[in-house]
Chains A and B, each alone.
Chain A
């Protein structure tokens, strides 16, 4: 896994703050409907109608559903899209009045299910919602397997105490942290 194969978001930096709350929401997968030649728009709009202010809707689609995102933006939804793989996009919608309606990031998915992407401050990995020991495994896989990697930003649910001895053995350490709701960020650096 190499950070240089990841493509960067060309506009806004990283995922929106509300994304952490959307990760628990059940996914509405419209790929089977589209594969069967059906138009899922009615289904999607019905699902969107059921979302109250502050709520979420998560959709899996075989492409970036830009028209749907524009339609829902007009109804007050911000959206954040991630390309999870070939013919697989996941778009998170948040009913917040459409304050921040259109973000995309092309991400890579590690075997443990962690998401990685690049931002201005380097490679990021999101290990939230993974059950132990998968977060540690994903982080160490990146550290051990990414040539030339000297810094990594981790999005975690908590300070990963059990990771500290493993980092130390590899000459890495946590140099800075920041805690927001459901997003503990750790800046890891090699040899500092």
Chain B
């Protein structure tokens, strides 16, 4: 048995090493496939599965003699109790831990075979990490198996029941999941890490900020949290073991003697005579057979301990999941239906799968396991009645669990004061996401059990099918829902757009699979085991004999119905609509790059004016677009041909006057030759169109931006690509190697003096600079359509709403087009219309949003300069996409991103303020000034927007509260750099990496204003903006900004520019000890021992220590909760170890180095220390 387990584990790991399709914990970018941290991660995760094996071993060790009835003999021999007990325990422990060695074998074999067969590049394999193998085994496997073993062994010896042992295992796993839930909240991470039985969270927490370099080199070690966690659980395990040893006794467990009730003797007086029976079995009694079977089977499951235990666990898991609420940057979202629904479906899927697999076997084998099969089979019932009754029992117990969870979810909503009970939504979700799948799975699992006719083999096959099939389809590159068992297009519920456009496809695919299930079930009827025949041939003969014409009619009917439906589905998803598998898309990308990369430098004229004519047809999910473009040749070359990349899905066309098409590659890439070449400075006009109308249903819904309610897309979606589109290129480094593509061009390097590279900005990629835009947009009568700019006119014509918008100031050609059924809230501030377009269900935060827009506009106009639009709009869109984005004066905002956040507790951070302030800031940073297309450009938009929004928030919040918010930015940076797929760059060289321009940018700029003052930073920003806003090219670079920043920084702090912007600097700051003594004048003298280290990281994350010579804040809190920072002082540290003295008026509770957490320090826990009285 142990070899089978080892083999399974080894195979899994082998698969993960040699293929990118099997994923166990993430390996990205430069992290080697067999890096020490990857080994440890695999061990951590697979250890949870290993627990199931361990349960078998420990349970077996404890119960073996008992089960074989050997215990009475064995226990009467003079064997010592300790020898017996611990011998068995450690034997099982050894076996359990040995099993995990399969993982290491998988690594070794995979690392050797993978590169040899050219499945993965040799550069992705590091040296064999022997240390990591040994340490993982000692740190994770051994303690985990020990702890789990003590519990299972104790339960097994105590209760002598395998079921109880497995419940123990389940209990450990549930405990682990509870700690996972805890960990989702950043505040509880340390607690969660300690409570994690397996140490998985703990290890992840310890390594979360590891850079790729560290991941490739550092093995896990017994230190820090991991050490504490391991000791804690070892200790608990030891206690369990000792307790269980002392309660263990060789004497046999006494069988329970149930007291039989004395039977009332009087009842013997009743006497029955044999009844006359009418018409036995004259009619085929399918229904009465069916109901009787159903009652017997259903009742037995409902009453069975396993079902009840699983039910209870599912409920516990749901409650713990809901307990923490829906955290969102330290705030809670309202428990809207879709949030609760998502939690429920996650839990129910897991548990229902377990239930279905387990009980499919139980039900099919029930008569045989109870040894009553011969009696039942000897009665003249219809086999198919029994089969159907069992299948339906199975489906119903699954549904019962799901519905119970929904019931608890609704109660949870009620308890939280959320009273918009959308039972209809729950029900629909249950039917499409639960009921239908349960039918399919149940019939399929029963089919497997019947055909295979060996319970445990069938279990094995079932598990393989239910859990491994996905892998198989990934490897086979199959994505058709018609082949992937039970799969339907998945839908996401949005308050705005309901279940969305997926519903139709979901319906037909569901029907297709349900019919398939019926057919399987009917076929299973033919092979149903009746009597004691085991061979499949005998069963078939018996089945054929006993099943009548009506059976074959039924088989024929459902078979044909299924085939017809299959044809219909095939027509809709493969012929009427087509789709690309992700593999095909990849091939397309490769092909595109290989064929057209040579045109990358073709010059294109620049757009100056655009008129968008857009008609949106929400009901039909349709779109018609015509764009009139005016262009000008801004280059110094003559342009004689124009290149276009066409999106065929949207039927894009281009109309170029006076030209001919000279190249057409499969309608993807077109080249037009101009009859009259375009001279430098010459103007030119063209038209582009696009059209899309949805047809039938699809394998997965494409064009998810055209919706019944909440259509939202931008100009890049509808315009053809001008020239070669480098964003089509495959980005993943390892995939590029696989497809033999050269390493991808990185962003152009930052130039010290501006040249032709500064002539295009990073947003429009040279296709335009500042553009005049008008939009004529129409939609159905019940919706409002919105485009950037002032509303010029609004008419109703032919039952359609038609709008005309015009932008008040030339802008970036980055435009959003939106249509939905909206409510509008508005207010006026200094001639600017502040508007929020929202769904009527989401009115709760609207006033806060209006207020946030106004606050932001006020701060920015005061500190940075005028706002050039006449409106500032926030527009809600469905949650299929989750972001907020800034277009000129217009900011679409996802419904899940703030509209449902609970802001009743005003002491918490206001995340809506943050997001809105960020997007409004983009009206300056990106829309007024935008960086040249090279390194550092996103610092000028994203980092500045992030900084600006922090400043807006800081007006209402003190610095201690700001720290609460800043920690998310810091985490984003540290996490991001740990999974860096290229190489980390300093802030001013950022290459559009979110963790750097948002995360690090925010922390660094915030820290800078703490060091040099908000005014000085704002001055630098304003001067920079004044110099470049709405300027024709050349565009500014981060170097240009540095020129405005440097004069604002005092000489003593000039090193910050180098450390924070131009290099990668990390700090390791600690308070080693803090003690106070009371002085004679009633004051308190505090001695603080500090450790301060500074390190510089290179691009791969390798660090080297540099000597510190920095100004750092020291602060003292009045309270242990760190709410009141009553004293701070910035001191100069030029030594790794130093002792400082402070004189305070009151006793401090805590001393902290860098109390506002503005320096980048991976571990913050050691920055604070309780202050104790000096002896």
Whether A associates with B in a native complex is no
| Contact surface of A with B, Cβ cutoff 8 Å | none
